[in-house]
Structure 1
Amino acid sequence: MTHGFLPAAARLGLDVTLLTDRAEAHEFDGPVVECDVSDYREIVARIDGEPAAVLSNSDFLQAPAALAAAYFGLPSKDWRAATRAKNKALMRRHLASMDPVFSADAGRVPPDAPYPLVVKPREGVASEDVFLVRDALELATRVKEIAARRNDPLVAEEYLPGRLHTLETLGDGRELRVLGSFSTTLSPPPFFVEERLEWTAPPPETPQVLRQLEALGIGFGACHTEFVVHEGRARIIEVNYRLIGDHCDFLLADLLGIPLFEQILRVHLGESLPGWTIPQPRHAVAEPVIADRSGTLTAAPGPLQMEDGHVRLSYRPQRTVGDTVAVTRTNRDYLGTVRAIGPGQEEINAALTRFRAAHNWTIT
């Protein structure tokens, strides 16, 4: 929000009011209104006047924002689609006729369940408390472990093998446009930390994903979908009905050479997608620097932009010096993300290696 949508709103000449339950976390010079943003009724009550748009990029706030926008008669996502996308059990139930995937409450898994399973929070994010379990004993152990940290519902789903991809889309309610795709490298099981995202052409199975998104009601604004491809079949892992995160949103905007944040705002203002032509993209990689131990971050670079030959590098920290770091084996372990755009994989990999060697991240 701070470095993407708010500057884009300023460039469009929009007057912005920020509604939040964490006012101290935001660096914003405009009006800040504190309210329970998880409740659409509170959002509606705290909006003064007739807004031109209501927008959130939070996983948890898509349905409340959609309901608030609908109250004011504004273009918005279907709140039911936003709810299906967020709630993994509802998503599986809705797609069961197209792509049946075993899914159950993690506390009520039948003995004949098709192990291995993936246990995870029903409405979780960032690979938090997501584990591969190979039998009923591992499942029970992980459920007990997770329950000691959180009390929200857990699901156990069939493990879907295959190559992990993302699909980045943008829709105006009439047209859903594919922006591109990343190939994702994960940490070894039982964890699911995203270690690298590499720009690739959308796989041939992408139309299968688009049909499932249509069935879910996805078609307005930005959407980030994660899916696997195995033996010619594409199967959705999860749908994040917002722009891709972990600084890949900035990489996407730089790579495509389009005003991505402005365009998402324009869609929410009721405008149609423009007829821009996306240029033939070069190669691109987003590679997080991941904490390897717990402690205090005592040395780390700040934001950087640089050229290494024909490779353009950007680094944006997600932790700053002085922060306490606790290794969780999730995407929350990111200290920062290096983004690289260049002519090819070999040049980018060499530039990333040189960048990491030239900078120091120390956890004491």
Structure 2
Amino acid sequence: MPEHVLVIGSGRDLPTRLRRSRAGTRTTVVCRLDYLSKLRETTEHTRIIGVRPEAPAEEWTELAEAVHARDPFTRIVAFGERDQDKCAAVGRALGLAAHSPATVALVHDKHAMRVRLREAGVDSTASAVVSDVDELRAFLAAHGTPCIVKPAEGSFSKGIALVREIDEAAAAFGRASGELGDLHGTEVLVEQFHEGPQFSVEAFSEAGEHQIVAITRKYSDPRNFVELGHVSPAPLEPAQEKQVHDYVERILDALGIGSGATHTEVVLSDAGPRVIETHVRMGGDEIPALAHDVTGVDLAECLIRHTLGEQVLPDIRATLAAPRTPRSSAIWFAALPAPGVLAEITGLAAAREVPGVTEVESLVGPGAAIETLESSASRVAHARAVAPTAEAALAAAREAIGRLTFHVGVRAADQGAL
């Protein structure tokens, strides 16, 4: 029977790949009105429904039910981060396989995730939701520093601050609760900070069975933890790699994640792995591309096949077990030290000539407003490279970024910040 897939959100090129992967597959998209401009090949969808951003899950469900009554869906998927709660609610209402609302709630609510992992004996990291600076100071006094203060819900590494002294509490609370504008009114989460290198773990699950595909070392800005670069595979000893594998699988089990692609961020502390957060989606920052470079596993293709009901774990495991020449793949990002308006980027051709470099891309165009590094959306370009070692791949990607020149005009409103 031909598939009719309900896609929640935009999904970039994945809905197109979904339709092309099997003859007769159709897609209907339900997404926020502000995501309509992100849709690709719009005329190829069977229909597109735009929903106001503040619409409750019940409205999304009613719209999906109305279409389902006329043109039944066979599958449902949310490829991105936002509105996975809507996907879970609609899936349950229509009897389509999706993550449960309870699992999505645990993944999106970072405090609820912490509580669940403590209850399950997986991770003992102390945390609390605080409503004002006094509550934040009380947590710091009880649990000590350093601690991380961040929005209880959020993405793009926005609003995160490291607090090493109690007198930093007020500034950190302001940053997490609304200093960046679109975070205004969000709850603030404080949690113990674990020192150590940080890693991203890409996994795929079917019927409650998990397979770790890749571990990527990540490099972040020490002030606000925005990612500046990644390299895969992470340079880990076999015992450390196994420790991370086992730990992440326990996290997925505790949160009830039994299917699909996941992206989990951990820190390898002196006491062992400790989770930063997890997501029921593929990683961003081109991490799936890095994983593909070094393992041969195409996570996007696996997710598409999985969405259409195919079993993919055997193929993933066969690919991981196949002989391959060891190599590393890295990405590095550019960010600017001052705000302004981008006029142009020069040096792209020279950057692409660096040995080992596979891609150099600008992330903004002429006329774009540039801000200093406050979130992952602040970054202006990236370079990817492949080399025999992690050090060589990172060096090539960073050299490529170093060959770029950004011509920026300073806005009058920003002159006081310089």
Q: TM-score, normalised by structure 1?
A: 0.90
Match of 1:12 in 2: 21
1:218 is the counterpart of 2:240: no
1:362 is the counterpart of 2:407: yes
- Partner SS for 2:405: coil
CA distance in 2, matches of 1:259, 1:346: 24
Match of 2:212 in 1: 178
1:128 is the counterpart of 2:158: yes
Of residues 136, 142, 145 in structure 2, which corresponds to 1:115?
145
Equivalent position amino acid for 1:198 in 2: V
- Partner SS for 2:359: strand
- Partner SS for 1:128: coil
Match of 2:225 in 1: 192
| Structure 1 stretches lacking a partner, 5+ long | none
Equivalent position amino acid for 1:144 in 2: G
| Structure 2 stretches lacking a partner, 5+ long | 1-9, 410-418
Equivalent position amino acid for 1:129 in 2: G
Match of 2:412 in 1: none
Change (3 A) 1:302 1:90: farther
Equivalent position amino acid for 1:132 in 2: L
Equivalent position amino acid for 1:121 in 2: P
CA distance in 1, matches of 2:347, 2:302: 29
Equivalent position amino acid for 1:205 in 2: Q
Change (3 A) 1:100 1:274: closer
Shifted more, 330-339 versus 178-187: the winner is 330-339
How far off is 1:326 after superposition?
1.9
Change (3 A) 1:152 1:353: closer
- Partner SS for 2:27: coil
1:181-330 equivalent positions in 2, closer than 5 A? 181-189=215-223, 191-201=224-234, 203-206=241-244, 207-231=246-270, 233-276=272-315, 277-278=319-320, 279=322, 280=324, 282-300=327-345, 309=355, 311-330=356-375
CA distance in 2, matches of 1:307, 1:259: 26
Equivalent position amino acid for 1:41 in 2: E
Q: Which has the higher helix share?
A: 2
- Partner SS for 2:26: coil
Change (3 A) 1:271 1:350: same
1:48-127 equivalent positions in 2, closer than 5 A? 48=67, 49-97=71-119, 98=121, 99-106=123-130, 107=132, 108-109=135-136, 110=138, 111-127=141-157
Q: Provide Cα deviations, 1:275-320, integer angstroms capped at 9, x if missing partner.
A: 22235452011211223221111113799996755x2512343322
Identity rate, percent: 22
CA distance in 2, matches of 1:219, 1:64: 18
How far off is 1:10 after superposition?
3.2
CA distance in 2, matches of 1:36, 1:16: 20
CA distance in 1, matches of 2:348, 2:304: 26
Match of 2:60 in 1: 43
Asked whether the 8 Å contact 2:232–2:390 carries over to 1, the reply is no
Highest relative contact order (Cα 8 Å, sep 6+), 1 or 2? 1
Match of 2:40 in 1: 27
Shifted more, 173-182 versus 346-355: the winner is 346-355
CA distance in 1, matches of 2:252, 2:111: 16
How many aligned positions are there? Answer: 362
Q: Provide Cα deviations, 1:32-74, integer angstroms capped at 9, x if missing partner.
A: 2101476333333223222122212332322221221222222
Q: Which runs of 4+ in 1 moved over 4 A?
A: 301-309
Q: CA RMSD in A?
A: 2.6
Asked whether the 8 Å contact 2:231–2:390 carries over to 1, the reply is no
Shifted more, 295-304 versus 40-49: the winner is 295-304
